């Protein structure tokens, strides 16, 4: 259904061909919802929707517009709290990205609000946002010596009736970088919304590379993330695109940039950066699939975590986290699959 969805997004008139197969249209809508394309599908197919489904298109576009307005208002409130306490931030992805790069910003789906802050301000920012209507349990992120090195953000949940959406505070970037979060904060720029609200956003090159890595790290599980990357890079000038490539090389992310470039050609028909087609395959590490790269990254980080442990107790926690729990999860998954297969065979 993904190929069918992309074909319809490119040529909405194609949706008329599904008039005689309502199940196919339903699966297309489900696929669009998963990949964060529901708004685009509804907006582009409103005049062609089969089986009188134009009402669904109108409802979906209206719901997206309302959600976008709500999240933009929530981001304004959250950043206002951080500004009040003198905490620097960079807004990552989300509604501000849509306002800056999308032709129709309300069509972009944003589930939560992502903000990059300096690690030294993390707990102060959490306390300030808890006072503003969020809930946060610091015990969920213990032991902190491990969490702070292996993960990259903490999540603050909204209190019902007070705040509308989740906030993720990123205290570092989720990739091995020569470009640190502090450097991104130093290079951040100001952006003013139509209503006069002022936000701090990443420089174009930093934002584009962060979107590339985010999409590839999640193995293109939602193509909407890759679509964001494609839109942003198409609107950058040549100098900013050159900076993206340069930062990818210096930070060791050239392989991921190439993977995203190839994926855009496959799914959207155009590369992120046309010049990358001339880069020879020997210049990137592309011999293994993405899932194996994740395993290799985990194995590489295991001895590093052991060195950081500092005590036998902490070392035991590392072993449990890296070896025992993943093996246990795989065994449980295999057992459930076997049980389900046995039940169907008996039936």
pLDDT at 288 over 50: no
Please name the helix (run of DSSP H) or strand (run of DSSP E) that holds residue 90, with its range, or none. strand 89-92
26: pLDDT confidence band, cut at 50, 70 and 90?
Answer: confident
pTM greater than 0.85 = no
Ranking 184-198, 257-271, 293-307 by mean pLDDT, the lowest is 293-307
Distance of CA 16 to the CA centre of its chain: 32
CB atoms within 10 A of CB 262: 15
Partners of residue 335 on adjacent β-strands:
none
Give pLDDT, residue 199.
95
Radius of gyration of the chain (CA): 22
Segment 309-333, tens digit of pLDDT: 456 666 676 566 666 666 776 777 7
Please name the helix (run of DSSP H) or strand (run of DSSP E) that holds residue 290, with its range, or none. helix 290-309
Segment 85-107, tens digit of pLDDT: 999 999 999 999 999 999 999 99
Q: Which domains does the chain have, with CATH numbers?
A: 2-52 (no CATH), 65-283 (3.30.460.40), 290-346 (no CATH)
Please name the helix (run of DSSP H) or strand (run of DSSP E) that holds residue 245, with its range, or none. helix 238-250
- The answer to whether 7 and 43 are in contact (CB under 8 A) is no
Give pLDDT, residue 285.
35
Which segments of 93-178 are extended strands (E)?
113-117, 134-135, 153-158, 167-170
Give pLDDT, residue 302.
53
- The answer to whether 209 and 221 are in contact (CB under 8 A) is no
Please state the φ and ψ torsions of residue 190, each to the nearest 5 degrees: -90, 150
Give pLDDT, residue 19.
65
Which structure tokens are listed for 231? Answer: 């839109």
Task: Give 90 or 307, the one with higher predicted confidence.
Answer: 90
141: pLDDT confidence band, cut at 50, 70 and 90?
Answer: confident
Give pLDDT, residue 276.
73
Segment 172-219, tens digit of pLDDT: 876 654 556 788 899 999 999 888 899 999 999 999 999 999 898 888
Map tokens 């394309």 to a residue.
37
């Amino acid at each position: 259904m993904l190929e069918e969805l992309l074909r319809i997004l490119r040529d909405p008139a194609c949706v008329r061909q599904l008039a005689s197969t309502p199940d196919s249209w339903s699966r297309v809508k489900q696929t669009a919802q998963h990949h964060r394309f529901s708004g685009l599908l509804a907006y582009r197919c409103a005049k062609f929707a089969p089986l009188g489904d134009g009402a669904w298109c109108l409802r979906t576009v209206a719901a997206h517009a309302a959600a976008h307005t709500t999240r933009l208002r929530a981001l304004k409130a959250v950043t206002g709290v951080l500004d009040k306490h003198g905490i620097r931030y960079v807004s990552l992805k989300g509604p501000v990205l849509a306002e800056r790069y999308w032709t129709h910003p309300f069509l972009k789906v944003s589930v939560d609000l992502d903000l990059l802050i300096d690690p030294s301000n993390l707990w102060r920012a959490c306390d300030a946002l808890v006072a503003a209507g969020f809930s946060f349990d610091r015990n969920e992120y213990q032991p902190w010596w491990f969490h702070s090195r292996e993960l990259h953000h903490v999540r603050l949940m909204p209190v019902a009736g007070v705040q509308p959406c989740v906030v993720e505070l990123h205290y570092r970037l989720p990739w091995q970088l020569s470009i640190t979060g502090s450097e991104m904060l130093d290079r951040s720029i100001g952006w003013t919304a139509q209503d006069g609200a002022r936000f701090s956003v990443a420089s174009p090159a930093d934002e584009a590379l962060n979107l590339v890595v985010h999409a590839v790290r999640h193995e293109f599980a939602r193509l909407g993330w890759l679509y964001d990357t494609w839109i942003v890079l198409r609107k950058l000038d040549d100098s900013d695109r050159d900076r993206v490539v340069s930062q990818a090389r210096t930070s060791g992310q050239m392989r991921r940039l190439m993977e995203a470039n190839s994926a855009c050609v496959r799914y959207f028909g155009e590369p992120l950066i046309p010049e990358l087609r001339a880069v020879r395959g020997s210049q990137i590490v592309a011999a293994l699939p993405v899932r194996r790269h994740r395993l290799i990254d985990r194995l590489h980080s295991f001895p590093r975590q052991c060195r950081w442990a500092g005590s036998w107790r902490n070392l035991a926690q590392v072993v449990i986290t890296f070896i025992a729990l993943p093996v246990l999860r795989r065994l449980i998954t295999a057992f459930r699959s076997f049980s389900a297969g046995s039940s169907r065979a008996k039936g």
